[in-house]
């Protein structure tokens, strides 16, 4: 359980760091770019990869390249959502992207659904709609409200799309660790090209330093989560539910304590439905 808590803690720290650094005037896209530089190196050494055995002809490069462009794009939407919608709503939207992933699993991967899983998906969709609606009500006469709704929806859909494409990639026979490392490398290259072409520089020393810190936290979140699944391979539902509920709970606490975010009625309802959705989906995993 310590690993799950540590993974959730790192996930929330990523959001806090992005939100604080943007408020301090740092450039999110520069940080996101260098985040992938250190994440790719950590991935290589943590998983002890031997990329010499990667077959160029058998590797689904179009998927790897697509994910390499999608990852920094979604990460940037996460950063924008944190600024416009707040950490509480963003964390809920990010975690409930799983309902879209599961819906895709039904239609694309022909996964069989029971009643409980359908209920969990339904609750998750309603939860996200409540969160987005609460932001619309709060900022009904503000352009920030409209952009906040857009970035919340982008986070929800974007993280689901990453999950779907990653599942499809590994389903083609590519190991998770190898696919992840190749994606991080591509994400760094694409991000660096974008930064250089748009700003004519690779980023200030401060942006690079905090980007590397972001990368350590981002990779630690992934590595600890994978490690927890390996150690609790007979109880994936515990890892799934524990991670999602802890991230949402820690996100609420950090938003309330550090950023003075208030919980509106719609937000609270969405939060409660989101936790119920995760519990339903987790229990469905134990009986399937």
Q: Give 119-169 pLDDT, tens digit per residue.
A: 998 999 898 888 877 766 555 555 557 788 899 999 999 999 999 898 888
Q: Mean pLDDT over residues 19-39, rounded?
A: 94
Where does the pLDDT of residue 232 fall: very low under 50, low under 70, confident under 90, or very high at 90 and above?
confident
Query: What pTM was estimated for this model as a whole?
Result: 0.89
**Residue 30 pLDDT level (bands cut at 50, 70, 90):** very high
Q: What is the mean pLDDT of the chain?
A: 88
Higher pLDDT, 50 or 20: 20
What span, in angstroms and rounded, lies between the C-alpha atoms of 63 and 183?
A: 9
CA–CA dist 96, 121 (Å, integer): 9
How sure is the predictor about 173, in pLDDT bands with cuts at 50, 70 and 90?
Answer: confident
State how far the Cα of 13 lies from the Cα of 224, in Å rounded to an integer. 14
Phi, psi of 49 (to 5 degrees): -80, 145
Mean predicted confidence (pLDDT) in 212-236: 90
- 47-92 pLDDT, tens digit per residue, is 888 877 777 878 889 999 999 999 999 999 999 999 988 898 899 8
Q: So what's the pLDDT on residue 273?
A: 92
C-alpha span between 209 and 244 (Å, rounded)? 29
Q: Which pLDDT score is estimated for 144?
A: 55
Nearest to 191 by CA among 25, 76, 79: 76
CA distances from 97 to 91, 156, 161 (A): 10, 5, 9
Q: Do 97 and 74 meet the contact criterion of CB atoms below 8 Å apart?
A: no
What gap in Å lies between CA 163 and CA 147, rounded to an integer? 24
pLDDT the model gives residue 69 = 96
First-to-last alpha carbon distance for the chain, in angstroms, is 23
User: Is residue 257 scored above 90 in pLDDT?
Assistant: no
Q: Which helix (H) or strand (E) element contains residue 14?
A: helix 2-23
Q: How far is CA 183 from the centre of its chain?
A: 15
For 260-266, the CB contacts below 8 A with 24+ separation are 261/86, 261/87, 261/88, 263/88, 264/134, 264/137, 264/138, 265/134, 266/130, 266/131, 266/133, 266/134, 266/137
Range of the domain at 153: 2-287
Across the chain, which distance is largest between two alpha carbons, in Å?
Answer: 56
- Residue showing tokens 């630690």: 220
Total domain count, the chain? 1
Express as a percent the part of the chain with pLDDT over 90.
47
Per-residue model confidence (pLDDT) at position 139 = 56
């Amino acid at each position: 359980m310590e690993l799950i808590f540590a993974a959730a803690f790192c996930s929330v720290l990523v959001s806090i760091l992005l939100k604080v650094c943007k408020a301090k005037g740092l450039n999110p896209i520069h940080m996101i770019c260098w985040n992938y530089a250190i994440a790719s190196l950590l991935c290589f050494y943590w998983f002890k990869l031997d990329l010499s055995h990667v077959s160029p002809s058998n590797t689904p490069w179009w998927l790897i390249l697509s994910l390499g462009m999608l990852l920094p794009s979604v990460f940037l939407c996460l950063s924008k959502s944190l600024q416009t919608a707040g950490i509480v709503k963003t964390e809920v939207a990010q975690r409930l992207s799983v309902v879209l992933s599961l819906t895709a699993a039904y239609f694309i991967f022909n996964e069989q659904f029971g009643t409980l899983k359908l209920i969990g998906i339904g609750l998750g969709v309603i939860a996200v709609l409540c969160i987005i609606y609460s932001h619309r009500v709060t900022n009904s006469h503000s352009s920030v409200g409209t952009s906040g709704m857009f970035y919340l929806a982008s986070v929800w859909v974007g993280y689901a799309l990453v999950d779907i494409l990653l599942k499809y990639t590994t389903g083609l026979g590519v190991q998770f660790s190898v696919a992840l490392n190749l994606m991080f490398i591509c994400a760094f290259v694409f991000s660096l090209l974008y930064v250089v072409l748009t700003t004519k520089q690779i980023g200030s020393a401060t942006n690079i330093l905090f980007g590397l810190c972001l990368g350590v936290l981002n990779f630690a979140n992934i590595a600890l989560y994978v490690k927890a699944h390996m150690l609790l391979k007979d109880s994936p539902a515990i890892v799934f539910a524990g991670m999602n509920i802890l991230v949402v709970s820690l996100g609420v606490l950090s938003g309330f304590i550090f950023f003075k975010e208030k919980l509106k009625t719609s937000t609270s309802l969405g939060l409660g439905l989101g936790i119920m959705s995760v519990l339903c989906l987790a229990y469905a995993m134990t009986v399937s």
